[in-house]
């Protein structure tokens, strides 16, 4: 199918896209509610299977439902990736109902990322031959993908490309770089004592945590884009007791695997300063970085495809937030992220999608899929697993 015809076809599918999106948004799916995620999975499976002509495989891991479609004949060559869970609690529809006013669509989870799920269904359905496409829609991305990570990595391994339907950056920019994430808890064990009668008998966990906060902050490197941020902090039991225990959470964001490894080694080497205190560290790397090199070749293709479709010049962005695209890049699969909806307000009261951009973005995905599927090779920037921390 010629590229202008792809855009025309997706434009003609817009009413169906809007109807499907209303159906998905109307089924609330907060990540922490397994029953809600399971109910949402059934709705997503029904909508997706109707569009793709293929029944969804339901993959239930630790009570959480993920969906997979293998489309057409032959082995999987391209992974299209999204999620159907959201951050919005049950009941959010009452205060944030689905609506379309003056070309702006609103509703909980519409931008992040139920619009992307719908776009994937319609883009794949628009292909003359979708053989080799695997679509994976997970149900736990918003809580760090604890049950779907291995599934995502297994599906991505060996694919020539992964396209992630997370929402775009500002102005419709696709995301060519995401920071990797490490999460730690620095536990401190001291000794409680009466703060008035005999404070000298205590080992103050709060004082030790103050030293550790300064130590972890010193691990940041702004020039390399590495942030090491103390976040949650707790210690002690009452205001007149020397704290006998405490805990500090630390959020680490990095652009390169080498930085993730450097910070991890330094975190594990932390030593107590207060005599008698002990440190208990837990956590570690959660997501590898999606490095710019993982997206470069696919972004170049996307720019060319957008131009041939007659779309405005495609732009790119580097972002600090992570997605499941970090995992696909981490196993060596060229990855392009942020191909989903154009809009804004993810996780916020003003979450919204620009209706006028739905069909063009879906056409861009369809054309990219066709381009990759008809190419003999896609240049990977490294071998499988080379980017894993």
pLDDT tens string 128-187: 999 999 999 999 999 999 999 999 999 999 899 999 999 999 999 999 999 999 999 999
Q: How many angstroms separate the CA atoms of 328 and 113, rounded?
A: 18
User: Are 69 and 123 in contact, with CB atoms under 8 Å apart?
Assistant: no
Q: How many angstroms separate the CA atoms of 221 and 211, rounded?
A: 19
Q: How many angstroms separate the CA atoms of 194 and 192, rounded?
A: 7
Q: pLDDT at residue 241 above 60?
A: yes
| CA 8 to mean position of chain CA atoms | 30
Domains of the chain listed by start with CATH number: 3-179+289-373 (3.40.630.10), 180-287 (3.30.70.360)
pLDDT tens string 293-343: 999 999 999 999 999 999 999 999 999 989 999 999 999 999 999 999 999
Cβ burial, residue 90 (10 Å; 0-12/13-18/19+) = middle
For the chain, first and last CA: distance in Å? 41
pLDDT band, residue 376 (cuts 50/70/90): low
pLDDT band, residue 347 (cuts 50/70/90): very high
pLDDT tens string 249-268: 999 999 999 999 999 999 99
Mean pLDDT of the 216-228 span = 97
pLDDT tens string 349-369: 999 999 999 999 999 999 999
The pairing of beta strand 316-319 with beta strand 174-178: parallel
User: Are 326 and 287 in contact, with CB atoms under 8 Å apart?
Assistant: yes
Mean pLDDT of the 53-74 span = 95
The predicted structure's pLDDT at residue 72: 86
- Where b means 16+ CB within 10 Å and e means fewer, 28-67 reads bbbbeebebbbebbebbbebbeebbeeebeebeeeebbbb
Q: pLDDT at residue 388 above 50?
A: no
């Amino acid at each position: 199918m010629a590229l202008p015809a792809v855009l025309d076809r997706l434009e003609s599918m817009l009413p169906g896209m809007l109807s499907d999106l209303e159906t998905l948004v109307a089924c609330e799916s907060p990540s922490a509610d397994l029953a809600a995620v399971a109910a949402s999975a059934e709705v997503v499976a029904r909508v997706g299977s109707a569009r793709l002509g293929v029944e969804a495989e339901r993959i239930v891991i630790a009570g959480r439902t993920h969906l997979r479609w293998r489309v057409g004949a032959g082995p999987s060559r391209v992974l299209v990736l999204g999620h159907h869970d959201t951050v919005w609690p049950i009941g959010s529809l009452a205060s944030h109902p689905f609506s379309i006013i003056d070309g702006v669509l609103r509703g909980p989870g519409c931008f992040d990322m139920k619009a992307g799920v719908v776009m994937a269904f319609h883009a794949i359905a628009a292909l003359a031959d979708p053989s080799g496409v695997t679509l994976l829609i997970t149900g736990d991305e918003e809580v760090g993908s604890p049950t779907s990570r291995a599934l995502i990595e297994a599906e991505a391994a060996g694919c020539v490309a992964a396209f992630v339907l997370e929402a775009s950056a500002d102005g419709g920019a696709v995301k060519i770089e995401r920071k990797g994430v490490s999460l730690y808890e620095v536990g401190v064990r001291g000794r409680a004592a009466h703060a008035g009668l005999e404070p000298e008998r205590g080992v103050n966990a709060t004082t030790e945590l103050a030293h550790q906060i300064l130590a972890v902050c010193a691990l940041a490197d702004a020039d390399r884009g590495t942030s090491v941020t103390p976040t949650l902090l707790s210690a002690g039991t009452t205001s007149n007791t020397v704290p006998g225990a405490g805990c500090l959470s630390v959020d680490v964001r990095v652009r390169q695997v080498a930085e993730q490894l450097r910070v991890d080694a330094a975190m594990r080497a932390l030593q107590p300063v207060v005599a008698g205190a002990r440190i208990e560290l837990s956590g570690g790397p959660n997501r590898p970085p999606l490095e710019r090199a993982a997206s470069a070749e696919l972004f170049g293709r996307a720019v060319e495809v957008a131009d041939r479709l007659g779309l405005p010049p495609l732009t790119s962005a580097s972002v600090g937030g992570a997605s499941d695209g970090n995992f696909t890049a981490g196993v060596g699969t060229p990855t392009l992220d942020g191909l989903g909806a154009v809009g804004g307000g993810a996780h916020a009261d003003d979450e919204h999608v620009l209706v006028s951009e739905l069909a063009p973005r879906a056409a861009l995905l369809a054309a990219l899929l066709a381009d990759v599927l008809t190419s003999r090779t896609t240049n990977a920037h490294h071998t499988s697993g080379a980017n894993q921390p």
